[in-house]
């Protein structure tokens, strides 16, 4: 993975290592979901357009979700 020998690496503290592992697990789960969707499309074709969500609606929902997650100072 890395070209550096293990002796030259700086170890992470336990909290940072746990955070990196949690991030990796989340990315792995998202990648698995994407792979599952692509495999379904390959096996069964595209779903009908009527069953989807318009991209504008998906965008607006996602932006609203992101805005709700932000910490605000009042």
Question: What does the pLDDT average to over 4-17?
Answer: 85
pLDDT value at residue 56:
94
R_g of the chain, CA atoms, integer Å: 20
Give the N- to C-terminal CA distance of the chain in Å, as an integer: 45
pTM exceeds 0.75: no
Instruction: Give 53-67 pLDDT, tens digit per residue.
Output: 899 999 999 999 888
Instruction: Give 33-42 pLDDT, tens digit per residue.
Output: 999 999 999 9
Comparing 2 with 28, which gets the higher pLDDT?
28
Answer positive or negative: Cα dihedral of 63, 66, 67, 68: positive
Q: Which two tokens stand for residue 55?
A: 């991209």
Instruction: Show Cβ contacts of residue 22 under 8 Å, excluding neighbours closer than 6 positions.
Output: none
pLDDT value at residue 73:
56
Instruction: Show Cβ contacts of residue 18 under 8 Å, excluding neighbours closer than 6 positions.
Output: none
């Amino acid at each position: 993975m890395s070209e550096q020998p293990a002796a030259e690496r700086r170890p992470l503290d336990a909290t940072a290592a746990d955070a990196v592992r949690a991030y990796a697990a989340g990315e792995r789960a998202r990648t698995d979901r994407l792979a599952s969707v692509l495999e379904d499309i390959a096996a069964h074709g595209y779903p009908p357009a009527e069953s989807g969500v318009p991209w504008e609606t998906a965008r607006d929902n996602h932006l609203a979700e992101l805005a709700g997650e932000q910490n605000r100072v009042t």
